[in-house]
Amino acid sequence: MNLFVGLPHVLRLIRAGFILGREGVFLDVDPGMIPPTAQPLFYLFRRLARSGVGRDGERLPRAMARLGPSYVKLGQFLATRPDVVGVRTARSLEKLQDRMAPFSRAGAVAIVERSLGQPIGDVFAEFSDPVAAASIAQVHKARRTQAGGGQQVAVKILRPGVEARFRRDLGDMLFASRLAERSSSEARRLRLVEVVETLARGVRLEMDFRLEAAAASEFADNTKDDTDFRAPTVDWNLTARDVLVTEWIDGTPMSDLAALRDAEFDLPRLGRNIIQSFLRHALRDGFFHADMHQGNLFVDPKGRIVAVDFGIMGRLNQAERRFLAEILYGFIVKDYRRVAQVHFDAGYVPKTQSVDEFAQAIRAVGEPIHSRTADQISMAKVLTLLFEITALFDMSTRTELVLLQKTMVVVEGVGRTLDPALDMWKTAEPVVRSWIEDNLGPAGKMRDAGDTFNAAIQAIARAPQMFERIDALSERLSGGGSRIEPHFSGARVSPWIAAPLWLLAAAALVAVLK
């Protein structure tokens, strides 16, 4: 039965392997990485390579484009996972353009009218042909009616039939990743199943534009007081599951350097702003745009950077933000022991490993940074070394941090395009130092103390209900016999219980303030 269930997956994966083989992708793969059971098929696909397949960095993006929108999206996602595919492959996948033939304007109008429940003329005075088309959606430029305010807006519309296609192809990918994890310890270390599940979860979120609208709205709230960065506003009244309407950004594309110069923008300042803004979003807000390539960035007439397309976002909790700040600051001040210890404290490296040996390996990453000029430092090379080291020390993949690291590489690339001499570490230092002072210094400890104290108070407030439940459970277990003492009458807390809780709260407060 399982054979027949998996057969459609196998057949479609063989077709995908055939296309990859024809495009010469397997010529770039080390046979030693292929499990013995898969090697016969691997060599067969390798022999299928057609002549004139081009350079190795071009083969995989071309094959992904031939396989269709789901694989284009997979390729873009893997470009953010150099820990899985390697930095070289990730960089080649960055060239993969998510550009598809647009569907008709009439089809777009039909979707808008169905989603909004009214004729398009009642909503928009103007509605253009598609101005951009990708695997999941396409964008139209429109103008609201006078009754709606008359402003220009961007209308993003979900591609018809895309959900069924993605569901099928992602099912194939999940099937393949499970097979890989059964036969390869390296696949298990890289958590290939988790990689595909993360992609599938991200695609599901991308296909509900209400969630993208929420991300854009939250991002705009976070940056509303920033003087050099902003996000477009969302029109919630015209946003549905498959339609998203936002403010139209009339700005200079950050990819057009000549236009930026003609507008007399300070390009080195923009380079510093993009890096510092990204770090503020990650550290201050714990919520960052994870697709900050030049195509998603504009500069408005006031010189502010404006980001668009909020389909891929990253989140960091407080512990992960602290980890990021400590790591960056440790590299900046060359405290490699601190960098290593932070990895162990966070539980990212098994305690069976040596902190000192890990610090020595981290030094091999950090020292080349400080021995070269700014324009000679490549974050891609730094990441290559880091991933090699984490594999050497059995460090499990942390998907949220890999996405952050990869976004940092993309942001650095944008910054370097604007200013080839940009010093990533010198630019990052004031933002990182400020966050550490605010969150790990005396003020941060006071806030942590307040949080701990509030948590203790809440625990005390819940204590009567907790002990009543324990009391009731004890009575049921004992068949109505003896009860756990002391018990509670009404909402009063026995001093014999409250006193230890207050002592616990005080101890936590002292520990935080040390």
Fold type of domain 101-158+208-248: Phosphorylase Kinase; domain 1 (3.30.200)
Q: Return the structure tokens found at 25.
A: 């992708």
Residue 119 banded pLDDT, cuts 50, 70, 90: very high
| 482 has a pLDDT exceeding 60 | no
Contact 414, 379 (CB under 8 A): no
| 478 has a pLDDT exceeding 70 | no
Distance CA 388, CA 381 (A): 11
| 447 has a pLDDT exceeding 70 | no
Q: Per residue in 283-293, pLDDT tens?
A: 999 999 988 88
Lowest mean pLDDT among 46-50, 233-237, 454-458, 489-493: 489-493
Distance CA 380, CA 110 (A): 45
Contact 153, 110 (CB under 8 A): no
pLDDT recorded at residue 25: 85
Top-confidence residue, 387 or 323: 323
Instruction: Return the C-alpha torsion angle 187, 189, 191, 195, nearest 10.
Output: -80
Q: Give the residue-averaged pLDDT of 347-375.
A: 82
Q: How many Cα atoms occupy the beta-carbon half-sphere of 419 within 13 Å? A: 20
The whole-model pTM stands at 0.72
Residue 380 banded pLDDT, cuts 50, 70, 90: low
Distance CA 475, CA 81 (A): 54
Distance CA 379, CA 410 (A): 9
What is the strand order of the sheet 124-133 is part of? Answer: 124-133, 137-144, 152-158, 243-247
Contact 497, 471 (CB under 8 A): no
Dump strand ranges (E) for 159-304.
229-230, 243-247, 252-253, 287-289, 297-299
As beta bridge partners, residue 127 has: 142
Provide the CA 152 distance to its chain's centre, in angstroms: 30
Q: Which long-range contacts (CB under 8 A, 24 or more apart) does 178-181 make?
A: 180/35
Q: Give the residue-averaged pLDDT of 213-222.
A: 96
pLDDT recorded at residue 8: 85
Pairing of strands 243-247, 152-158: antiparallel
pLDDT recorded at residue 506: 43
Q: Give the residue-averaged pLDDT of 309-328.
A: 88
Mean pLDDT for the chain overall: 81
Contact 140, 172 (CB under 8 A): no
| 81 has a pLDDT exceeding 80 | no
Catalytic residue among 172, 228, 291, 309: 291
Percent of the chain with pLDDT over 70: 79
Contact 351, 340 (CB under 8 A): no
Lowest mean pLDDT among 100-104, 210-214, 485-489, 492-496: 485-489
Contact 138, 208 (CB under 8 A): no
Q: Return the structure tokens found at 199.
A: 């992609």
Q: Which long-range contacts (CB under 8 A, 24 or more apart) does 166-170 make?
A: 166/69, 166/70, 166/73, 166/203, 166/207, 168/12, 168/70, 169/12, 169/68, 169/70, 169/71, 170/70, 170/196, 170/199, 170/200, 170/203
Residue 460 banded pLDDT, cuts 50, 70, 90: low
pLDDT recorded at residue 42: 82
Contact 80, 53 (CB under 8 A): no
What residue segments make up the domains of the chain, in order of their start? 2-97+165-203, 101-158+208-248, 251-440, 443-513
Top-confidence residue, 398 or 221: 221
Percent of the chain with pLDDT over 90: 32
Of 138-142, 179-183, 186-190, highest mean pLDDT:
138-142
| 384 has a pLDDT exceeding 70 | no
pLDDT recorded at residue 476: 56
**Can you state the angle between helices 162-183 and 192-206, rounded to 10 degrees?**
170
Distance CA 74, CA 350 (A): 30
Distance CA 160, CA 291 (A): 24
pLDDT recorded at residue 49: 87
Question: Is 291 one of the annotated active-site residues of the chain?
Answer: yes
Of 80-84, 97-101, 437-441, highest mean pLDDT:
437-441
Of 92-101, 382-391, 483-492, highest mean pLDDT:
92-101
Which DSSP category does 283 fall into?
A: I
Which residues neighbour 340 within 8 Å (Cβ) at sequence distance 6 or greater?
A: 355, 356, 358, 359, 362
| 52 has a pLDDT exceeding 90 | no
As beta bridge partners, residue 142 has: 127, 153
